[in-house]
Amino acid sequence: MWELFVRSLDASIVLAIAALGELIGQRSGVLNVGIEGVMLFGATFGFIVAQTTGDYTTGFIAAIAIGALIGLMHGVFSITLGVDQVVSGMGIWILGFGLTTYIGNPYTGPLGMARIDRIGGMSPFFYLALALIILTWFVLNKTSLGLKIRSVGENPAVAEVSGIGVNRIRYMCVIVSGMLMGLAGGVYGLSYNPVWNYNFLMGWGFIALALVFFSMWNPFIMFGGAVLFGALWQLALSPEFILPGVMSRYLWRMVPFVITVVVLVVMSTRWFRTRWGAAKPEALGMPYRKEG
Amino acid sequence: MKIAEHDIRLVKRVELPWWNAALISIFSIVVALILFSLVFVHSGVNPINGFKEIFQFAFLNRNGLPLTINRSIFIFLCTCAFIIPYRAGLWNIGMAGQLYAGALGAFGVMYLFGAKGDPNLYIAPGIGIPLMMIGAMLAGGLIGGIAGFLRGRFNVNEIVTTMMLNSIGFWFVSYMVKEGGPFMNPVGRSESFDLPVSVRAPLIFGIPFTLVVALLLAVLLYWVFAKTRIGYKIKSYGHNPLAAKYSGINPQVIPVLVFVLGGMIAGLAAYHYFGAVPGVFKVARNYAEFGDLSFYGIICGLIAQGNPLAAIPISLLFGGLTNGGRFAQGKLQMGFGVDYALLGVMMITMVVLQFFYRYKIVWIKPEKEISDVGIIR
């Protein structure tokens, strides 16, 4: 049972890091629906680099770097060019899906390296994820930089008038957000599921996106959601733990996705919104252009 | 910005004439193909040779052309499934899930007829084929309708819902056709039972009749969006849901309507590929590849700017490119996934050029001797 829990935490870590990246971007008002694409890039490049060099660290650096690059690209499209952010995000997802299928194909199969050592029974990324979440919360809520980020996400025109460089802050946020998504992809491809296959994320990026909506833009709630979801995912992968032989294993695989939809519905109801008060950044998804 | 003597400025477009939009679309396709030639270079193939192989097989080869047309019909139907919600400002990326459902719907009808394990069963084609199409459309529309209903009623993000439904559909098909699932082929190769010979779709010059259905659909959709009240309602909801609400359009009904219609067309796409294309006639083992192929619908829809008639030539081009790409990949010994790479490159070029729908570049020639203007003259 403990093993199952640890394994489910491994899944949660991937989701949490990716969702954290999305959360930072959204707080600055930039929506990126292409998390899946960034994660695929991170996972594939991390996988290829780690396998070629035989070194995990280089692999993770590659994953983070490609994530930053894609984040920058999303920034150029949605901040400088003012392209619809959903269109740009979709583009990044399909670019990631298409290109990594082609690039990664010769590397199909297991990574073939010793697993990353665990620290105190946990994956080292568990501690990293916790640290990143606390750091994000601290920066967003307790520092002047966080105030700037949030004000840019709420009302860029007012932020600009009060002397904040809106585009600069947004660029910073999308790049950091891309780095985290790339890292999440790397953790998935190098630690959680180190067997490359085309499109091997199977929609995890979109689940991370749902987690951000679920979290009401609070990193701690987001982490709670990720832990819950990781547990669900792991149970769905090994249903024999709770209900042996009840349903076909294929049907079990549907369960986490069904639950994602159900959770999203519940928290979208007016009852939930008025009860908990959703703190959606006002300017989310809107391109900002200085007048004049 | 200045280049030589010319001043270059970005000017916001006030209107976009259709020929301008077409020009941008063609330009984006050309740029994508140029970028795509890097894939050939990467595999050590001369890009000109590569494209020649692709186009020759796709459009001039006796074996290749029917494959191209079948793929194009499929992509076109997926494009329509994307376009209808897109006109209402909603994103349907769930064509994959809807078409999985459609495939099960179509074969579900045959299952009820008792066609499992009996490929020689006689079912009157005049009854069986329409029923299969209806089954496919109902199932697809149902799955699409879930996303539309949740969007309209609870304001749930439709991108997440449709994507989740894609995964749900994927596993559900696996359940149905693999490991003793209800639709499993008795011969047991992880695919569904074969369609009885009697209800295989009639062919016109080797092309299934679904071609006619697709063309009629294009005209019908164009007419709906251009002339009818319901088309107008969908478009005005897409421009501004709030304003649409105040002008008496029910904001809960439109999302359901567009997603049900989109899902039905995606279901039809499933019927086309699994029930009508010669040589398939079952839910094939590689059904997920068709789910992936359906994502071309997004790109076609964006390039066509939601115009169903413009989507026809674009679908044909992409049908040819993916089909020829597959062929070239085998013949020139390139890695798997050439058509996927094209999908990605195409999409991102499309995104960049979206910018030009809203802005245009204006070259301003400097006026000569402008400094001479003064009191002396």
In B, residues 270-299, which contact A (CB 8 Å cutoff)? 292, 295, 298-299
Count of CB atoms within 10 A of residue B328's CB?
27
Provide the pLDDT for residue A292.
45
Q: Identify which has the larger pLDDT, A75 or B340.
A: A75
Measured between alpha carbons, how far is B146 from B161 in angstroms, rounded to an integer?
A: 8
Q: Identify which has the larger pLDDT, A29 or B351.
A: A29
Question: If DSSP codes are grouped into helix, strand and coil, which group holds residue B192?
Answer: strand
Helices (H), chain B: 18-42, 47-55, 64-87, 95-112, 125-154, 158-177, 210-227, 229-239, 241-246, 253-270, 287-293, 296-303, 308-331, 338-358
Measured between alpha carbons, how far is A1 from B132 in angstroms, rounded to an integer?
A: 47
pLDDT of residue A281 exceeding 50, the answer is yes
- By residue count, chain B amounts to 377
- Is the separation of the CB atoms in B175 and A250 below 8 Å? yes
- Tell me whether B337 touches chain A (CB under 8 Å): yes
Select from A94, A101, A203 the Cβ nearest to the Cβ of B347: A94
Measured between alpha carbons, how far is B220 from B238 in angstroms, rounded to an integer?
A: 20
Residues B212-234: pLDDT tens digits?
Answer: 999 999 999 999 999 999 898 89
- Chosen from A261, A266, A289 to mutate, greatest number of chain B CBs within 10 A: A261
Indicate yes or no: CB of B168 within 8 angstroms of CB of A82: no
Nearest-by-CA chain A residue for B359? A81
Indicate yes or no: CB of B351 within 8 angstroms of CB of A253: no
pLDDT of residue B342 exceeding 70, the answer is yes
Residues B108-150: pLDDT tens digits?
Answer: 998 888 877 777 788 888 888 999 999 999 999 999 999 999 9
Residues B140-191: pLDDT tens digits?
Answer: 999 999 999 999 888 888 998 999 999 999 999 988 888 777 888 877 678 8
Select from B150, B154, B171 the Cβ nearest to the Cβ of A254: B171
pLDDT of residue B194 exceeding 50, the answer is yes
Confidence band for A231, pLDDT divided at 50, 70 and 90: confident
Measured between alpha carbons, how far is B101 from B165 in angstroms, rounded to an integer?
A: 10
Show me where the domains of chain B are located: 77-308
Q: Identify which has the larger pLDDT, A238 or A27.
A: A27
Confidence band for A291, pLDDT divided at 50, 70 and 90: low
Residues A5-42: pLDDT tens digits?
Answer: 888 899 999 999 999 999 999 999 999 999 999 999 99
Mean pLDDT (chain A) is: 88
Count of CB atoms within 10 A of residue B44's CB?
9
The DSSP code sequence of A2-26 is HHHHHHHHHHHHHHHHHHHHHHHHH
Count of CB atoms within 10 A of residue B213's CB?
17
Nearest-by-CA chain A residue for B349? A91
Measured between alpha carbons, how far is A106 from A157 in angstroms, rounded to an integer?
A: 49
Mean pLDDT (chain B) is: 86
Interior angle at CA B203, CA B201 and CA B207, nearest 5: 110
The residue among B59, B70, B67, B69 whose CA lies nearest residue B276 is B70
Contacts of B338 in chain A (CB under 8 A): 102
Contacts of A90 in chain B (CB under 8 A): 91, 93, 298, 347, 351
Contacts of B93 in chain A (CB under 8 A): 90
The residue among A283, A261, A255, A147 whose CA lies nearest residue A214 is A261
- Is the separation of the CB atoms in A179 and A73 below 8 Å? no
Provide the pLDDT for residue B340.
85
Please report how the helices B308-331 and B47-55 are oriented relative to each other, as an axis angle in degrees rounded to 10: 120
What is the ipTM metric for this complex? 0.86
Output the pTM of the full model. 0.88
The residue among A50, A110, A199, A101 whose CA lies nearest residue B335 is A101
Domains of chain A, start order = 2-106+120-276 (1.10.3470)
Select from A95, A206, A250 the Cβ nearest to the Cβ of B160: A206
Give the tokens for residue B168.
């749900």
Measured between alpha carbons, how far is A153 from B73 in angstroms, rounded to an integer?
A: 43
**Ranges A157-161, B78-82, B202-206, B220-224: which has the least confidence:** B202-206
Beta-bridge partner residues of B360: B11
- By residue count, chain A amounts to 292
Measured between alpha carbons, how far is A66 from B278 in angstroms, rounded to an integer?
A: 43
Contacts of B348 in chain A (CB under 8 A): 91-92, 94-95
Q: Which residue has the tokens 């992809």?
A: A185
Provide the pLDDT for residue A146.
93
Provide the pLDDT for residue B365.
67
pLDDT of residue B70 exceeding 50, the answer is yes
Half-sphere exposure of B104 (CA within 13 A, CB side): 23
